[in-house]
Structure 1
Amino acid sequence: MSQVKKRSGTGKKTPLVSDTVIDVPVGDHSNNGKRSKKQLKEKEVDAYESVSTEPEYKYWIALSIVTVLAFYVRFTKLGTPDKVVFDEVHFGKFASYYLERTYFFDLHPPFAKLLIAFVGWLIGYNGRFKFDAIGDSYTENNVPYIAYRSLSAIQGTAVVPIMFWTMKTLGFSVAACLFSAIIVCFDTAQVVDSRLILLDATLILSVALTIFSYCKFSTFRKEPFGKKWWTWLLATGVSLSCVISTKYVGVFTYFTIGIAVCHELWILLDYRKGLTLQQFSKHFFARLWALIIIPFIIYLTWFYIHFAILTKSGPGDSFMSSEFQETLQESPLAKLSKQVQYYDQITIKHKDTGAFLHSHEHVYPLRYEDGRISSNKQQVTCVESANAASDPNNQWEVIPVAVQDDGAKGKDVYTNDVVRFKHVGTGGYLLTHDVASPLKATNEEFIVVFDDVAETRYNETLFRLKLDVPGSSPKKQNQRKKIKTMATPFRVLHMDTVVAMWTHNDELLPEWGFNQQEVSGNKNIKSKENVWTFDSITNLDESDPRSKYVPKKIKSIPFLKKWWELQGLMFHHNNQLSSTHPFASQPDSWPLALSGVSFFNDNEAKKQIFFVGNVIGFWLEVCFLSIYVGLVLADQITLRRDYHLLSKKARSRLYNTLGFLFIGWCAHYFPFYLMNRQKFLHHYLPAHLIAALFSGGLVEFVCSNNSALSLHANQKFKKIKMTALVGVASVGIIWFFFYFRPITYGDVSLTPEEVKARQWLDIKLHYAK
């Protein structure tokens, strides 16, 4: 045991584990030969340094081969199918909105969507086609979809050589580099996502560039503040910005790099490194500037471009505040928004469903189907109508409360006012009371009452118009603001029972209610589903100044204010994605590719595209990740008993290089367990990418001489092991890819028996019968 300890203490020229974050060769590979001669004089053989002496031409040959293969599998049949596939309905549509400059709202940042639109602009497309439904024909509508898909295919192809070069930068052998690249090159999920008009190809490329740039930066860690040191540090920051500017899951890549940077700074803080606090501060602020400030500025720049392009009113208007909407050209608000005054006859529109408040000369049945008894009074419902303003049953007169009614028309209505609503069609007053509504037994029933009843129950006809400002403080919601048609969102709160007027379209009233929407009093008054607007004024005459349209000057608000509003809405709606989805899955099913997503079906030709990972590649990654955990545990246990079985260089590789990649995989995978939102298999692809890098590195590690006891390494035997393991695994991965090729490209019809043969694990395919 003393000999073991003595061996572990020799080799003073070998850097300590704590001296590095990622164990990579320092400097360019052109110095490898010189460095290996020096190390051959040492007693301990460094297996990894000997690997780095492989001739450069072998790397270039392998890199060329895998890049050509990546290009082939991503560009083959790129025009098939010539129809809208899965989420192309969203991101193709957004590109069209950019080209038409009409405002839209999306949950993701604009960078990748701007790239797609840029392709359309380059080829002169006008954005006429709106990608309305999966299966819509591209060829019949003259859509340049191949150009759009080519952007994703180019990005997906570029990922493969970047992975290869990352492994080379980390000092791994040709076989290890090739294996990592092959896992992604022939992964069915990666290929599908890089052949369609989606954001994932941009995301994966950005993640790959981030990992590569940081690894490259680490090679110059002993040359701080030099030109190349700054170049690759800044390249890491720019790549990080591209990740977070594509999708917010990019924060996991930030977390990965952040852990490595914090570890590195912690090492530099050690007084034994010889840095003064001023020198350490220089390191700290260099990373702060390059990895936080500059990426944030770039992130803001994409939003600035986003707002600069989208200057016209569009489908995203309703998500934004009235102040924001009035900054858009050709906005309905600029032309149609009018100040509401008392005694105006108006239509009231529900923001979520777009339906109009309605009543008619029919009463609720005395007894409902479930036996509950109603008030048997006049119904209040909601209807969807293109000509709501022309129907008196959709019109309501805004009546002031007695203490505010000075008998003069022309008095403006403000938020926080208490009002009554008189139904124009029948002459009664809107009222809600403590009687259960027809469909929601916990909610209150809305009715219309007349004459003496309306006066006797006066307090039950009073409603407060509460301004709706999403995510704001109560102080802002209590402010008095002039109410304009189409522009001022508010809640209608009942003064007597403190409920909010609400409607919903997930369940409609029976035949006695003419299958219209139920209106009820919602006790959850803060719900975002309680928001209404006054849509139009129906009794304006020509003498009223409001009846004449006066062109309004388009307003402008500061960029940061617009960005802050949009940012808040994006986070809010991201958190609301908690509903069930038929193709949603849980993170525990992702690493083993237990299920997938149906992207496209052609019922006539019996063709389909099914999004699922390469099962063999996915399972191999899980095996290598498990082996790594076992190796670390075994090493820690032996160290506790003072047995030093691994050489210092091997231990550095295990904890630093492989440890960095393992933490990267964990950071991109485990946080999804904490999320309540919808989750899909494509969320695992960044983690899969890093696991591929890790797998190539671990294959080399287990095939190398890592022992602190061995004085000689049999390089020939090591190469045989590496070649055999990489060869067998690669053949399996490539075989699976081509076996599942028909459901990856969607260009071949399979018989039911052939479909069933591909229903591995929990994969459920169409046309199996």
Structure 2
Amino acid sequence: MVSNPTSPSPFETKKFSIIVACAVTFIALLLRFYKLNHPDEVVFDEVHFGKFAGHYINREYYFDVHPPLAKLLLGAAAWFVGFDGKFDFEKIGDSYTKNNVPYVGIRALPALLGSLTVPIVYATMRETGFPIAIAAFSASLVALDNAHVAQTRLILLDAALVFFMALSLYSYIRFRKLRYYEFTSEWWLWLSATGFFLACTLGCKMVGLFTFLTIGSAVIVDLWDILDYKKGYTMDHMWRHFSARALSLIALPLCVYLSFFWIHFKVLKYSGPGDSFMSPAFQETLHGNELLMDSQEIRYYDIIVLKHRDTKVFLHSHIEMYPLRYEDGRISSQGQQVTGYPHNDTNNHWQIIPTKALPEAGHGRVVRHSDIIQLLHVNTQSHLLTHDVASPLMPTNQEFTTLAKDDHSRYNDTLFQVNIADGDDGQAWKTKSGHFRLIHIPTRVALWTHPEPLPRWAFGQQEINGNKNTQERSTIWFVDTIVADENGLEAHDRGEATSPRTVKRMSFFRKFGELQLLMLQHNAGLTASHPYATGPINWPFLLSGISFWTENEQKQQIYLAGNPLGWWICVMALSVFAGIIGADLMARRRNIKPIPEGIRNRLINSTGFFVAAWACHYFPFFLMNRQLFVHHYLPAHLSSALVAGSVLNFLLTESIEYPISIERRGFTRSKARTYTDFGFRGFVVTAVLFTILTFSFVFFSPLTYGTPGLSGEEVNKRRILSSWTLHFAGKEHEST
């Protein structure tokens, strides 16, 4: 107990707090910048994000599943340190030194952001009202964490993601502290800062939506409280609060988020490796794009080669027939096979036949959007046809075959409509840029293919069939080349006047909408297996890590794994919090109040907010089918570090109550406030935990920094769990 709770301890002064904040920041900087030049080779996902930095410098368009802010920052850092963008980051292990890449300067940006995250954690705890020692403990769980250090020393996105996520939580706490000073300039400042940093978090990775979920949940609780008539607020006052939050936490973040893409599109103005992901209209806005430079109008009687946009196979036919029976016993039409073939040969040649009379010359001869055509297979002189017969591999889809040119008995089954993607009436069909769907007139199915190969009777080529879902994204085709026209002339020999190849315009919002949709689709499609991919259930317990880099000659390796002691402390803190709240709720059912009201309010409001942040950044991963890794847990781990400090404070403090006066909305009243005395015992416990965390970090640091020369025995000592797939282990623990 203390005699005068209002007089601060010498260890709780502002000056001492600044000293501690500087100390934890120095430790974070030291650990993240130590040996930043090692290894001087491409490590793990630097193959992607280093490459993207080069594309920004060369202004070449690329496609990625993540929003652009963190990559823009890396590109700016690369430009600032003199990177010319010529190194292609082709594979893990490529040498930076031999290729004169200023990689240390680029890595310095994520290292700095990772370091600055630590004092933000410290400041968050202090602003929430926790003692200096507790704030330093939570900060040390991040500063001395091997996973945070390893991830933020490389050219990766997670340092920026976690940095802005921490700033979002800090800003919202600063805003909530001003709830009795509503609509003041400082209140607006921190509310707007929260929205700005939320946009930055989402601008780094799509998982930034989880930070929106965290803050959004807190805002809903806050507005629900204001709505209570017992608080004395009018509905007009409530709507003012709602409007302020909608403006600062929805409208402002949206504008900021859009600005990142506006800069992204402005910088990437030249054709690059990401062109093929985008629509033809988008590609034609890029300087030097193949679709813009080489596209030609397609005319009737042209002999063309058609290519599937997604799988890149050619529409192909040959003289072999479908077998009488398929393996499942179904009987086929025994017609001529139509398949998808990956190589270009003369069996890919098709001639466009008109279905109505055409004028002798002029624009009427150009094939246009919605025209109905026939496709004649040149080598076998037969028309493309589909009918209500099941395809070989997919009984729900229609078989494609051909019909002899002189056989007019099934004329209607050879009619197809050319539907140019996003086409307008009268729009000319073009090679390269004229992506289209070929729709069968009688049955309204779309020409389609998929990667599963046909049996040996079709030489393992891809199946072509009719898809009833005509709007399926994978039903898109394009004309790769015009082989010849009806006079035998190739397109470039026609002697036609060509229009100037000027870059076309496309509105920013159409570009943004198209890219955003593609990002979401490709994010969901990252389902391929990976040797280091793990499920979320493994992450809090650190059951696995990721091999970032190995070098066999000196037996060096970088293995991403957290500080086991720190991660397990965080898990225990979450469990203790759940136990405390559960026990308190049960006791109160029997009219027993084991926790003083002030302490309980802090536990629910402050610690509860941190637990909500952890839950919002962790549990959504269980709903995902995409490829996941342990580094996806880092934002949740930071939240659990805040929980750990809060729970430790609860366990170590003693409490007394003393009267105070509170001014709120013009009224002054007295109440009892609970004062917590951290005491000498608390400093001792936190000092011991800090020491143990430091020793644990140092022990596992060879795996974090890629220290050379560890013997198999030394590697074995650091493999504390059999699920850690370390390299260069001793024979009794060799990893697969």
Question: TM tier, shorter chain?
Answer: 0.7 to 0.9
Asked if 1:420 is matched to 2:364, the reply is no
Cα distance, 1:448–1:316 mapped onto 2, change above 3 Å: same
Q: Residue by residue, what CA displacement relative to the aligned partner does 1:167-207 show, whole Å, maximum 9, x if unpaired?
A: 12222112101110111112122112101111111000001
Query: 1:492 maps to what in 2?
Result: 438
Distance in 2, Cα, partners of 1:255 & 1:107: 20
Query: 1:339 maps to what in 2?
Result: 297
Residues 646 and 708, structure 1, Cα contact 8 Å, conserved in 2: no
Q: Residue by residue, what CA displacement relative to the aligned partner does 1:531-589 show, whole Å, maximum 9, x if unpaired?
A: 21112222154897674443233222322232222223223333333444443322222
Residues 81 and 106, structure 2, Cα contact 8 Å, conserved in 1: no
Cα distance, 1:167–1:424 mapped onto 2, change above 3 Å: same
Q: Residue by residue, what CA displacement relative to the aligned partner does 1:287-339 show, whole Å, maximum 9, x if unpaired?
A: 33222222221111111111111111222222322222222222222221222
After the TM superposition, which residues 573-592 of structure 1 pair with which residues of structure 2 at under 5 Å, given as runs?
A: 573-592=522-541
Deviation at 1:631, TM superposition (A): 1.1
Deviation at 1:633, TM superposition (A): 1.6
Query: 1:266 maps to what in 2?
Result: 224
Query: 1:538 maps to what in 2?
Result: 483
Distance in 1, Cα, partners of 2:396 & 2:31: 57
Query: 2:150 maps to what in 1?
Result: 192
Q: For CA contacts below 8 A with separation 6 or more, give which structure has more relative contact order.
A: 1
Cα distance, 1:384–1:601 mapped onto 2, change above 3 Å: farther
Find the partner of 2:694 among 713, 716, 734: 734
Cα distance, 1:371–1:262 mapped onto 2, change above 3 Å: closer
Residues 51 and 172, structure 1, Cα contact 8 Å, conserved in 2: no
Deviation at 1:107, TM superposition (A): 1.8
Distance in 2, Cα, partners of 1:689 & 1:715: 25
Asked if 1:88 is matched to 2:42, the reply is no
Query: 2:120 maps to what in 1?
Result: 162
- Secondary structure (helix, strand or coil) at the match of 2:550 reads strand
Deviation at 1:160, TM superposition (A): 0.7
Distance in 2, Cα, partners of 1:551 & 1:113: 35
After the TM superposition, which residues 137-536 of structure 1 pair with which residues of structure 2 at under 5 Å, given as runs?
A: 137-271=95-229, 273-360=231-318, 378-385=336-343, 388=344, 391-401=345-355, 404-406=356-358, 408=360, 411-432=365-386, 445-452=399-406, 454-468=407-421, 481-495=427-441, 499-505=445-451, 507=453, 510=456, 516-522=461-467, 525-536=470-481
Query: 2:653 maps to what in 1?
Result: 704
Find the partner of 1:127 among 72, 85, 97: 85
Residues 596 and 674, structure 2, Cα contact 8 Å, conserved in 1: no
Cα distance, 1:504–1:230 mapped onto 2, change above 3 Å: same
Deviation at 1:634, TM superposition (A): 1.7
Residues 645 and 707, structure 1, Cα contact 8 Å, conserved in 2: no
- Secondary structure (helix, strand or coil) at the match of 1:222 reads helix
Query: 1:18 maps to what in 2?
Result: none
Q: Which runs of 5+ in 2 are unaligned?
A: 659-671
Distance in 2, Cα, partners of 1:377 & 1:342: 26
Residues 191 and 249, structure 2, Cα contact 8 Å, conserved in 1: yes
Cα distance, 1:527–1:546 mapped onto 2, change above 3 Å: farther
Query: 1:722 maps to what in 2?
Result: 682
Question: What is the one-letter code of the residue matched to 1:165?
Answer: A
Residues 51 and 171, structure 1, Cα contact 8 Å, conserved in 2: no
Find the partner of 1:656 among 588, 597, 605: 605
Distance in 2, Cα, partners of 1:623 & 1:268: 34
Distance in 2, Cα, partners of 1:725 & 1:543: 81
Deviation at 1:74, TM superposition (A): 1.1
Distance in 2, Cα, partners of 1:81 & 1:479: 58
Query: 1:28 maps to what in 2?
Result: none
Distance in 2, Cα, partners of 1:87 & 1:149: 13
- Secondary structure (helix, strand or coil) at the match of 1:180 reads helix
Asked if 1:766 is matched to 2:727, the reply is yes
Deviation at 1:488, TM superposition (A): 2.3
Cα distance, 1:546–1:620 mapped onto 2, change above 3 Å: farther
Cα distance, 1:261–1:304 mapped onto 2, change above 3 Å: same
Residues 387 and 399, structure 2, Cα contact 8 Å, conserved in 1: yes
Asked if 1:678 is matched to 2:595, the reply is no
Residues 646 and 706, structure 1, Cα contact 8 Å, conserved in 2: no
Distance in 2, Cα, partners of 1:611 & 1:733: 17
**Percent identity at matched positions?**
44
Deviation at 1:627, TM superposition (A): 0.7
Cα distance, 1:753–1:493 mapped onto 2, change above 3 Å: farther
Question: What is the one-letter code of the residue matched to 2:432?
Answer: M
- Secondary structure (helix, strand or coil) at the match of 1:95 reads helix
Greater alpha carbon shift after TM alignment, 283-292 vs 202-211: 283-292
- What is the TM-score normalised by the length of structure 1? 0.84
Cα distance, 1:353–1:138 mapped onto 2, change above 3 Å: farther
Question: What is the one-letter code of the residue matched to 2:181?
Answer: E
Cα distance, 1:603–1:522 mapped onto 2, change above 3 Å: farther
Cα distance, 1:218–1:407 mapped onto 2, change above 3 Å: closer
Question: What is the one-letter code of the residue matched to 2:715?
Answer: V
After the TM superposition, which residues 50-69 of structure 1 pair with which residues of structure 2 at under 5 Å, given as runs?
A: 54-69=12-27
Cα distance, 1:713–1:205 mapped onto 2, change above 3 Å: closer
Cα distance, 1:524–1:136 mapped onto 2, change above 3 Å: farther
Find the partner of 2:519 among 567, 570, 575: 570
After the TM superposition, which residues 546-625 of structure 1 pair with which residues of structure 2 at under 5 Å, given as runs?
A: 547-625=496-574
Question: What is the one-letter code of the residue matched to 1:502?
Answer: W
Residues 292 and 433, structure 2, Cα contact 8 Å, conserved in 1: no
Deviation at 1:493, TM superposition (A): 3.6
Deviation at 1:348, TM superposition (A): 0.5
Cα distance, 1:688–1:433 mapped onto 2, change above 3 Å: same
Alignment RMSD: 3.3
Q: Which runs of 5+ in 1 are unaligned?
A: 1-35, 470-475
Residues 307 and 478, structure 2, Cα contact 8 Å, conserved in 1: yes
- What is the TM-score normalised by the length of structure 2? 0.87
Question: What is the one-letter code of the residue matched to 1:702?
Answer: L
Distance in 2, Cα, partners of 1:280 & 1:241: 25
Query: 1:750 maps to what in 2?
Result: 710
Question: What is the one-letter code of the residue matched to 2:340?
Answer: C
Deviation at 1:480, TM superposition (A): 6.7
Deviation at 1:94, TM superposition (A): 1.5
Deviation at 1:713, TM superposition (A): 11
